[in-house]
Amino acid sequence: MVNRRQFLSLTAATGVGVLLPACHKQSAPVLPVKDANGHYLWQNWSGSEHAYPSQRVAPNNIDELKQVIASAPTPIRCIGAGHSFNGQCTTDGTLLALDNFSGLVGHNNLEYLATVKAGTRLQQLGKLLEDVGQDMVNIPDVNKQTLAGAIATGTHGSGHGLPALHGRVQSFRLLTLQGQEMNCSASENAEIYHAALVGLGAFGIVTEYTLENWPLAHTERQVTMLPLEQMLTEWPAQYAKNRNAEFFYIPFTGLAMRILHNQTDKAVTARGEDKDMESLMDLKKLRDYVSWSPSLRRRVANMVADNHGTEYAVDYGWKLLASERSVRFHEMEYHLPLDAQLDALKEVIAVIETQRPDVFFPIEARVIKGDDRAWLSPFYQRDTGSIAVHAYYEDDYKFLYELVEPILKKHGGRPHWGKLHSLTEKDFVQLYPQWQQVKAIRQQLDPQGKLVNPYLKRVWGV
Amino acid sequence: MKKLRLTLVCAVPLLLLLTACGSKPALAPVTLTEQQNKLFQQSCQTCHANAASPAPQMGDIKAWEKRVEKGLPVLVQNAMQGFNAMPAGGMCTICTPDDFEAMIRYMATAQTKTK
């Protein structure tokens, strides 16, 4: 992003070290680590959701897993890595971790298939695949999630010709609440495959996936700072000619950071130390010190960005596509018809820059190829442009619902299943043509609602 | 003589107290159980054995010293509730307070063996 030392010195040089009162800081309640029943606190990654589950289990094998679903307190929620920003993992019943269902089951390098256990973390998966000569060229920006959590929520990377993770799932193995194991693919239990692939952990317990990967090859990463207007003008051409294209707009600066990834024959060039998070905290300082003067804020940022140039790195894709995200935040992301993306983005920027000077987290824009495999895919039957807006974990994030979400809804957006949104079943019926069929299949597989928590009751309308 | 003894009796505990105040806090090393070692590999090491992460790294005595000064109960509470960049529970769903305590000791004292 920006050169940290320059940024700090320039900020100091402005001579305006007046720390504004932290009026947008949200005082998070201090939660007891144990409740009256002796159950320990659980919180999601961002800290926005919490619960005191009566049981936490990590079964070692399929027989133990069958015992859990037969007798554990409900609701039973598969936790993944707990990275979802909304309440889908929250439960006072059973938190089910598939941490012991991790690793590679097998692979086939004729078709570049790999069967992977559901609890495998994306961070580990890259190395496992590298060892067998395969790669996933469209992994998300954050790689702390489990494979099952990422797929069940429609998690994605960016690429005009690349579907989200679930778009490369050939089949998966589902353990139903009745204790039956079934393979699901486009040719076997097809309706369940289409309904439960992006299934929010509400159809049964998925224990493994067979992924369609790519041959292992080097990827080149290019990161460039440029004016927002130029970025917006060039965006359609950029995503059309690059394998993975995305950009971040830095609020109140007029600057965008473009990130491109393409296959290359070049030798490995180290990515170097990741300074993104330090730069992010510098943006916070800039917010803290000069948010009273948007013009000064913009001038300081532009002075620094002038010297940025383009950064290059070459390595395997899994090492470059994801970045260390060690600063916690809240996030809302919607997936819009591709043609609506830039108009919506301009509206979002305008509303933030006129009403919320406290926002400093970059706004992210990505593209995702439409798919037909998952009926609840936010990319179902349409090429998509996504917009993600973030708020620092200590800051008030109600503006995401009050200011940002109405714009994204108005442009026909579908919310990311793992992120913040206020939608209910009434909305989803309109957004997903197969909604009623999916709901009926879910009801058949979980007639007692053992997998449904309060958040999912709102989603499913039950 | 009696006065001298009284002075010594008073002075020795005081000196011991001052010495204690001046010394750096230390944690006794711990050996993780097989289960704790597994939990450590599945969760804690994602950030605490990852040079790209700003988290205090396993065995970095200097980085841990200032944290250990807060006391183990505070560190366990921070691990469970989240603290700055660290998410609540450190991405370990089934860790108990005893597990957190053992793993903090393990990282702060850089023990590597399992029982």
B30: nearest Cα among B72, B77, B87, B86: B72
- Per residue of chain A (462 residues), give pLDDT as tens: 444 344 444 444 444 444 444 556 666 677 888 999 999 999 999 999 999 999 999 999 999 999 999 999 999 999 999 999 999 999 999 999 999 999 999 999 999 999 999 999 998 999 999 999 999 988 888 888 999 999 999 999 999 999 999 999 999 999 999 999 999 999 999 999 999 999 999 999 999 999 999 999 999 999 999 999 999 999 999 999 999 999 999 999 999 999 999 999 999 998 877 777 788 888 999 999 988 888 999 998 888 776 678 999 999 999 999 887 788 999 999 999 999 999 999 999 999 999 999 999 999 999 999 999 999 999 999 999 999 999 999 999 999 999 999 999 999 999 999 999 999 999 999 999 999 999 999 999 999 999 999 999 999 999
In a domain, B93, yes or no: yes
Q: Which ipTM score applies to this complex? A: 0.77
Query: Are B80 and A40 in contact (CB < 8 Å)?
Result: yes
In a domain, B5, yes or no: no
Is the confidence at residue B8, as pLDDT, over 50? no
**How far from each other are the two terminal CA atoms of chain A, in whole angstroms?**
45
In a domain, B76, yes or no: yes
- In three-state secondary structure terms, B82 is coil
Residues of A in contact with B82 (CB under 8 A): 43, 47, 328
Say how many CB pairs under 8 Å bridge A and B. 71
In this structure, what CATH number is given to the domain that contains residue B82? Answer: 1.10.760.10
Query: Are B82 and A327 in contact (CB < 8 Å)?
Result: no
Residue type, A385: G
Which residue segments constitute the domains of chain A, with CATH numbers given?
A: 42-96 (3.30.43), 104-215 (3.30.465.10), 218-415 (3.40.462.10)
Strands A94-96 and A55-57: parallel
CA distance to partner chain B, nearest, from residue A327 (Å): 5
In a domain, B100, yes or no: yes
pLDDT digits (tens, 9 = 90+) for B53-100: 889 999 888 899 889 999 999 999 899 888 888 888 888 989 999 999
Which residues fall within 8 angstroms of residue A393, CB to CB, at 6 or more apart? A46, A47, A327, A328, A329, A330
With beta carbons less than 8 A apart as the criterion, state whether A395 and A25 touch.
yes
Is the confidence at residue B37, as pLDDT, over 80? yes
Query: Are B88 and A95 in contact (CB < 8 Å)?
Result: no
Chain-wide mean pLDDT for chain B?
A: 78
In a domain, B21, yes or no: no
Cα B62 to Cα A190, B20, B31, B83: the distances in Å are 56, 19, 21, 19
In a domain, B92, yes or no: yes
Of B54, B77, B94, the CB nearest to A56: B94
Is the confidence at residue B113, as pLDDT, over 50? no
Give the model's pLDDT for residue A28.
66
Residues of B in contact with A47 (CB under 8 A): 82, 87-88
- What is the biggest distance separating any 2 CA atoms in chain B, rounded to whole angstroms? 65
Of A47, A58, A273, the CB nearest to B88: A47
Query: Are A56 and B93 in contact (CB < 8 Å)?
Result: yes
In a domain, B10, yes or no: no
B103: containing domain: 29-109
Torsion of CA A247, A250, A255, A259, to 10 degrees: -20
CA distance to partner chain A, nearest, from residue B1 (Å): 56
Task: Name the residue in chain A with its Cα closest to that of B92.
Answer: A81
- For chain B, the domain total comes to 1
Q: Which of B43, B91, B92, B93 to mutate to test the interface with A (most CBs of A within 10 A)?
A: B93
CA distance to partner chain A, nearest, from residue B24 (Å): 28
Share of chain B above pLDDT 90, in %: 32
With beta carbons less than 8 A apart as the criterion, state whether A143 and A123 touch.
yes
Instruction: Specify the pTM.
Output: 0.90
In a domain, B2, yes or no: no
Compute the distance between CA of residue A260 and CA of residue A163 in angstroms, rounded to an integer.
17
Is the confidence at residue B17, as pLDDT, over 50? no
The tokens describing A329, both together, are 């935040």
